Structure 1
């Protein structure tokens, strides 16, 4: 199995690992952020070229700051290159109903014209990919070659982060769709609960 990743794998791993460090402000605080009940599934058509095959993140709940043990695998049957548009929908459960969160400061239910450019902003070209991607030779920039990709079980340190004020305690679900030239490449749904604890 080739050590690398498809675009969904890249955004789910590389972006999750670096987005907090690059776009959220580090902050010392008295409370710990707890992420629990993490679940995911593919939501694209059966013939979508990019799919996540497995994704495991432990423990439950995840403590931030703290450490997690993660593993993942995915594949793409076609090369994926810029521009790759991303449509993200983020919802919060309120009184038993799911309410869509608008796009605020590039977070929430947003459209990104080119996810490849996002990765270049998070990890400047020429800079080594963050761990554990670097250790396993997993790329974090476009283009992504067709093939199978795998991240073995790895320990990842999560820094302290300051979430936007509107991301308060509650249950959330998100869907991300990656497309190229108007054709869907892949779709991933994620659900989790966010809580703060002393």
Structure 2
């Protein structure tokens, strides 16, 4: 599971680049998630809880999660992300711009290595609970007990500052789908 949480956080942080505007006092409402893959996909999320709802950015976040993989998840691990934004009651696919939006990431393991270089300890609370933060992720069950995170101010593209969003990520490796996760959230800034 924490691979999904780390992937979501990692992809969010990777996308925070140039041509962005400062987002302060943003809030996320109505968070929801579900697995969207085949019943025999090897990587599944079993539980994910986030609070408070709405989530304030910047602010404090409490999260717990669990998941499992029946196979080792090793490089190269691709992720195909589809991001949709609700516009006037219709869902519109957000194109991939500067590696943000509906993008295909050829190797998430490489992205994780850039965010958390090999040899560096995993960030808290993953380190405390002995959870991995880079590839390979061994086959088995993973669990993140209820933990607190400090969410800093984040620069986001102006088109991601307000609205309702749906995100789907399909994890792949060796030419096969390994898992699929859908998230729904609303983002509102003051």
Equivalent pair of 2:21/2:158 in contact (CA under 8 Å)? no
Of residues 47, 53, 63, the one that matches 2:40 is 47
Aligned residues between the structures: 188
1:70 shift after superposition: 0.3
Q: Aligned pair in 2 of structure 1 residues 87, 21: CA closer, same or farther (>3 Å)?
A: closer
Q: CA separation in 2, counterparts of 1:97 and 1:21? A: 27
The equivalent residue for 1:111 is 104
SS in 2 for 1:120: helix
Q: CA separation in 1, counterparts of 2:137 and 2:7? A: 15
Of residues 26, 31, 40, the one that matches 1:38 is 31
Of residues 184, 189, 192, the one that matches 2:182 is 189
RMSD of equivalent CA atoms: 1.9
**Cα deviations by residue, 1:147-169 (Å, 9 ceiling, x for unpaired):** 11100001111111111112131
Q: Aligned pair in 2 of structure 1 residues 38, 30: CA closer, same or farther (>3 Å)?
A: closer
Of residues 143, 158, 164, the one that matches 2:136 is 143
The equivalent residue for 1:158 is 151
The equivalent residue for 2:70 is 77
The equivalent residue for 1:13 is 5
- TM-score normalised by the chain length of structure 1: 0.89
Unaligned runs of 5+ residues in structure 1 are none
1:67 shift after superposition: 0.5
Q: CA separation in 2, counterparts of 1:160 and 1:22? A: 14
Unaligned runs of 5+ residues in structure 2 are none
- TM-score normalised by the chain length of structure 2: 0.92
SS in 2 for 1:69: strand
1:135 shift after superposition: 0.8
